[in-house]
Amino acid sequence: MVLVCTIVMVSLPRVSWYRYFLLRSEINNLHALFVCLQQRAIVSHAMYELFFDVDHNTYHYLAPSGKKMVCALNKYVQFGWVTGVKGPPGDPEKVIDRSITFPLTKQGHCVQFFPDGKFSTGTIYIVDKEKTRVGALTCPISQVSYMRRYVYDGCTWKLL
């Protein structure tokens, strides 16, 4: 019995750390994709679109060849939020009530990347399956498009 308790006590912090790592990893992956699509739009002088399917925890875009590139979130995280958390992270005034604030189209929530380097504004919230941690990739309204990555630590948003 003592051995089982010891194993559980030692493994719990690691599991929590692992979930935090996976959450940050997904936020960083999305950030990298945003930068890539922004640069592709600038170089090709064409608009790119990134679509999110909240129900299936996937997102997709069209490659230059026309092939649909589909990506899925890690099975331990999903689009979502922790109940009662306020957002957006840069100015948390309202309780979050949806996982993606980018415009909704027939194909899902859509982020548009324009040839001038600008892109749509909005926020994507990703939560671990236990809904204990939440992260965000946000694109605020500004004259220059940029992204910020955040993780909620239980009481405040922390910039990554």
Give me the pLDDT at residue 11, please.
Answer: 52
pLDDT at 85 over 90: yes
Whole-prediction pTM? 0.87
Look at residue 65 in the predicted model and tell me its pLDDT: 78
Q: Above 90 in pLDDT, residue 91?
A: no
CB neighbours (10 Å) of residue 152?
Answer: 24
Q: For residue 153, what pLDDT is reported?
A: 84
Window from 62-66, 106-110, 112-116 with minimum mean pLDDT: 62-66
User: pLDDT-based confidence at 104, cuts 50/70/90?
Assistant: very high
Confidence of residue 13 (pLDDT cuts 50, 70, 90): very low
Give residue 141's pLDDT band: very low, low, confident or very high (50, 70, 90): confident
Average pLDDT (114-120) is 93
Residues of the chain with pLDDT > 90, as a percent, come to 68
Instruction: Please determine, for residue 77, whether its predicted confidence score (pLDDT) is greater than 90.
Output: yes
Residues 107 and 39: their CA atoms lie apart, in Å, by 23
What band does 118 get if pLDDT is binned at 50, 70 and 90? very high
Name all domains of the chain by residue range, CATH numbers in brackets: 2-159 (3.55.40.10)
